[in-house]
Every structure is written in structure tokens, then in C-alpha cells.
Amino acid sequence: MSSSIQLVVGLGNPGRIYRDTPHNIGFEVLDLLAARQNLRFKRGFGLRSWVSTWHREPSPVRLLKPRTFMNRSGEAVARAVRKWKLSPENVLIVYDDLELPLGRLRLRKRGSAGGHNGITSVIRGLEDSQEFPRLRIGVGPRPPGEELIRYVLSPWKDEVQKQVEESRNRAADAVTFVLEGDFEAAMNQFN
């Protein structure tokens, strides 16, 4: 069975200062997917995003990284959905989740924002629909006493780099698995 996913969106913040931070793991997973397929991201005309097209059978899949900041990701997602005439069910959102331990993945067909401002923005951008699939990538737990914003926007500590790399790779594998077939099977394999 082929996937109905036509757009994969990685959430993050634009700019070098945010590279290799917990909040940008969605961008990094899309970068890895693109590298595996020898794809390049280009500025998407009118989309406020970087876009790459992965030519797959039976139909291409677009990879999208919003150039808006995390809290305004929904603006870019809404533009892409309108331009390519997609339904929320055709959009897979890949993003960080502080409530999951580092290395854990959670694929879901739908759900609430769970306190994630980027997902809140996506829900608003999709006219209050929560009916889009998502891949949550664990980046927690936050060290005791560390501010939330400081933690998610600070570079990964050296001692977790190997685990972060493994998590990115596993998340990229999960996206590929979803695109190749049954979402339920992907959930069983990666959750």
C-alpha cells in the first residue's frame, strides 16, 4: 500500500545560531533525508520555506523547511498546502518533543499540540485541523533547573552527540518507511 503523504515538513528555526540544537532536529532530519537522495533545498517561491522535491513513484514527495521561526511555522505550512492543494492528512510534520527521552520516536496519525508552539501554529495554519500525521522526536529530558528556552535553543552537549546522530538517522528511516507504505506498520516498527 502506498503512502498518502505528499509533503514532509521539518520544524526548526532558520539561521546558523540554531543549528545542532534540540529545537532544530526536524530540520536536521529533512537535511539527512535530502542528503540520502542527493537532493538540494531551494527557496520556495512564495512559500517562506526551503523546498526539495523527492521524485518517487507513484508521485513526488516535497520536503519543506519553513523559513519562518518555529512559532510561525503554520504560515509556511498553510501556503504549501494551498499551493499544492493538499489535505492535512497528506502532510507529515517532523519535530522535537521535550516530553520524550532522547532517542525515542512517536509516530501518530493525529493529535493535539501538546504544548509545542510550532505545532500550535501548524494547527492554526491548517484551519484548526489536528488531522495531520506527525513524527515526534524525543529531545528530553531537560536538565534540572535549566530554562526551557535555553535548553531547546542551545547546542547539544558533546556527551549526547552520538545519541543525537542515531536519533536523526532513525527518524529519517521512519519517514522513509512511512513513505513506502503502511502508517500502522511504521508505528509498530518505530514507536
| Residues forming the active site | 23
User: Contact, 84 vs 47, CB < 8 A?
Assistant: no
Q: Collapse the DSSP code of 181 into the 3-class scheme (helix H, G, I; strand E, B; otherwise coil) and give the result.
A: coil
Q: Which residue, among 24, 16, 1, 4, has the nearest Cα to 118 in the 3D structure? A: 24
Q: Which residue, among 166, 168, 180, has the nearest Cα to 10 in the 3D structure? A: 168
Q: Collapse the DSSP code of 39 into the 3-class scheme (helix H, G, I; strand E, B; otherwise coil) and give the result.
A: coil
Query: Measuring CA to CA, how many Å separate 163 from each of 13, 38, 177?
Result: 21, 24, 21
> What pairing do the DSSP bridges indicate for beta strands 134-140 and 49-54?
unpaired
How far apart are the C-alpha atoms of 22 and 121, rounded to whole Å?
A: 18
